[in-house]
Amino acid sequence: MKKSRLRKYASLIVGYGINVQAGQDVLIQANIENSDFTLLCVEECYRRGARKVVVDWLSQDLDKININYRSLETLSQVEDYEKAKLKWRVDKLPCLIWLDGDDPDGLNGIDVEKYGVSMQKRGKIIKKYRDAMDGKFQWCIAAVPGKAWAKKLFPDLSTSKAMEKLWENILSCSRVTEDPVASWKEHDATLKSKCEYLNSLSIESLHYTSKEGTDLTVGFMKDSIFLGGGESSLGKGIYFQPNIPSEECFTSPESGKAEGIVYATMPLSYQGMLIENFWIRFKDGKAVEWGAEKNVEALTKIIGMDDGAAKLGECALVPNTSPIRQSGILFYNTLFDENATCHLALGKGFDMCVRGYEEKGSAKCKEEGVNESMIHVDFMIGSDSLDINAKTRDGRIVPVFRGGDWAF
């Protein structure tokens, strides 16, 4: 891949993704395998006036060894140095870039029970720091190829050619064109126009049906609103693009308002494990029954992570005309696969999906029905047979999706 094109991608992530401002700190989380591209992002941050750039180097191989050899007690601890870094993030609110290139099968073979319990215990300690930062800083998740990920997608190619092909698809789906920012601004405007129409309907619930067997009704708060594209940080009001790519119009439903069954249409890559061909049944807003052909124990751990993990935190609408869907590739990566088709999420909802959330505050948003959980796990439900109808608060039934695409 030409370095000039990679620099253009790094510039998009830094300049439009996090939109770093002069004097701000930046934290980058990246796999050690992707050091070359990470350094391009570091340099771009400094070129745009960043005060300090800190890199957290990640390794799935190291994570797997730690999970296998550490005791549950040790694995569950949040060390003092970790708390100090979290406090630095609360105090300084650095921009965050997460460069995702994990192997979808990278944690196969771990003790799922031990790992799940340790995540629960760590999550309870970390929660207060996350809550203190929520909505106050710019962040962006973007993808960088990893060798194992590339070979998973293109097993018949050599490693170098698989990496090149994955790079091409990432850059294409991420709108790295001659003028990426202009492309993104046009796309952003389209997403916001869709959201404006949805918000004008005053939706009480959405009813999902498909030939796969989905028959699910999800209810919304009175002040639920759909969002899409970029957003602004609380306090400073700096506009940023949290996901590159992004094709969704999303909202948070009312906690406890989901009835029926939903079938996933893509595998879910979660913590290095693939959960395949699964379904979930909801009653009184909570998952009460589920199954999967592969890694059902991982799905069980997700749903049992805490009380809110069994409830829905997000409903996202993505048409099958998405460039990611049109690529014909199953990426085995949530960032891409969730932007290929409609999806739901178990766990934490978004305060910002409540009208007037800035003035109401987080506690009021939770009181109105935003789901609370330490996790947020997206899973894909869209297909060419997916129909979605909105029931409005004045009793109308309005088509939203027909055959996997917008009905308006």
> What value does the mean pLDDT take over residues 349-364?
94
| pLDDT tens-digit readout, 180-236 | 999 999 999 999 999 999 999 999 999 999 999 999 999 999 999 999 999 999 889
User: What are the tens digits of pLDDT across the range 150-174?
Assistant: 999 999 999 999 999 999 999 999 9
Are the CB atoms for 272 and 112 separated by under 8 Å?
no
CA distance 395 to 408: 19
306 CB burial (10 A radius; 0-12, 13-18, 19+): middle
CA angle 228, 230, 231 (to 5 degrees): 100
What is the rounded average pLDDT of the residues 85-96? 97
Residue 163 carries which side chain, given as an amino acid letter?
M
Burial (0-12, 13-18, 19+ Cβ within 10 Å), 81: exposed
For residue 1, the model assigns a pLDDT of 83
Number of Cβ within a 10 Å radius of residue 146: 22
In the predicted model, is pLDDT for residue 272 greater than 90? no
Distance CA 398, CA 387 (A): 11
Which amino acid is residue 281, in one-letter code? Answer: R
pLDDT score of 270: 87
Tell me, what's the pLDDT at 271? 80
- What is the C-alpha separation between 77 and 80, in angstroms, rounded? 9
Task: Select from 288, 290, 289, 260 the least CA-distant residue to 275.
Answer: 290
For residues 268 and 26, give the distance between their C-alpha atoms in angstroms, rounded to a whole number. Answer: 30
The answer to whether residues 148 and 106 touch, using CB atoms and an 8 Å cutoff, is yes
In the predicted structure, residue 389 carries a pLDDT above the cut 90: yes
Residue 39 in tokens: 């350094």
Q: How many separate helices (H) and strands (E) can be counted in the chain?
A: 13, 20
Alpha helices in 242-386 (DSSP H): 296-303, 323-326, 334-337, 357-368
Q: What is the pLDDT of residue 273?
A: 85
Region 50-63: mean pLDDT is 97
Amino acid residing at 387:
D
Determine whether 46 is exposed, middle or buried from the number of CB atoms within 10 Å of its CB (0-12, 13-18, 19+).
middle
Cα→Cα distances 23→45, 92, 173, 250, Å: 10, 11, 31, 32
Question: Cα(67)–Cα(48) distance, rounded to whole angstroms?
Answer: 38
Reply yes or no on whether the pLDDT at 269 is more than 90. no
Q: Which amino acid is at 167?
A: W
Nearest to 244 by CA among 74, 69, 10: 10
User: Which residue, 199, 196, 195, 177, is CA-closest to 245?
Assistant: 177
Which H or E run includes 89?
helix 80-92
Q: What is the average per-residue pLDDT within 310-331?
A: 96
- 77-78-81-84 Cα dihedral, nearest 10 degrees: -160
14/97 Cα distance (integer angstroms)? 8
Round to whole Å and give the CA distance between 107 and 373.
23
Residue 243 has pLDDT above 90, yes or no: yes
The pLDDT value recorded for residue 80 is 98
Q: Is this model's pTM higher than 0.95 or not? A: no
In order of their start, the domains of the chain are 3-173 (3.40.1830.10), 197-228+246-406 (no CATH)
| Ramachandran angles phi, psi of 15, nearest 5° | -85, -30
